[in-house]
Structure 1
Amino acid sequence: MTEPPGKTSFMVSLQTRILALVLIPLLLTTAALVITDAFGRIQDSQANLAQQRELLIETRQAGVRDVVESARTAIQPILQDRSLNDSEKRSRAADILRAIRFEGDNYVFAYEYNGTNIVLPYSREREGTDMSGIQTPDGAYLIRDMIEVARQGGGYYAYPWEYPGTNTIEPKYSYATQVPEFNWMIGAGVYVTDIDAAMEGAEIRAAGALHSSITTSALIGTLIFLIVAAITAWMVRQTVQPIRRTAEAMRNIAKGEGDLTRRLTVESRDEIGELASQFNAFVSRMQETLLDVRRRTTSVHQAAEEIAQGSDELATRTEQAAANLQETSASMEEITATVNHSTESAEQANQLVQSTASVAREGETAMKSVERTMTDIDTSASRISEIITLIDGIAFQTNILALNASVEAARAGEHGRGFAVVAQEVRTLASRSGDAAREIRMLIDASVSHTREGSNIVKQAGTTMQEIVNSVARVTDVIADISAGAREQNSGIGQINTAVAEMDTMTQQNAAMVQQTSSAATQMRHHAESLNALIGTFVLGEEASSSPAQLLSTRSAPSLENRKPTKPQRHSVAEVEWETF
Structure 2
Amino acid sequence: MKRRQTGIKRELILFTMGCIICIVFILSAGSVYLSYDLNRRTLNKCLKETSELVSEKITQQLKEYSVIAESIALYQIGNAAREGNIALFLNMSSSQYGLNKIDILSKDGVSIVNGDSYNQDPAFLQAKEGTASLSDPIVKEGNVSYEYIYPYGDIVVVLEFPYSVFEEIIKDTKLGDTGITYMINRNGRKMAHEDFSLVLAGQNDIEDAKKDPGAYGEAASLERSMINGDAGFRFFRVKGEKKIGAYTPIADTNGWSVNVTAMESEFMSGVTVSMLGSLLLGIVSMILAGLAMLHIANRITKPIGQAAEAIERLSGGDLNLELSVKRSDEIGQIVQKVNEMAGKYKDIISDISRFLHEISSGNLQAESGCEYPGEFNGIRTSMEAIAFRLRETLLRIKASADEVTEGSGQVWDGAQELAKRSAEQSGAIEELQSAMTGVFQQSVKNAEYVKKASVYVTESGKKVDEGNLHMHSLNQAMEEVDLTSRKINGITKLIEDIAFQTNILALNAAVEAGRAGAAGKGFGVVADEVRNLAAKSADAAKETKGLVEQSVNAVSKGRSLAENTGRILKEIAGQAGMTEEVIRQIEVSSMDQVQVMEQINQSLLTVSEVVQSNMETARESSESSKWLAGQAQALQTEVSHFRVNEQDKQIGSDQI
TM over 0.5: no
TM-score with structure 2 setting the length: 0.34
TM-score with structure 1 setting the length: 0.38
Which structure exhibits the higher relative contact order, with contacts defined as CA atoms closer than 8 Å and separated by 6 or more residues? Answer: 1
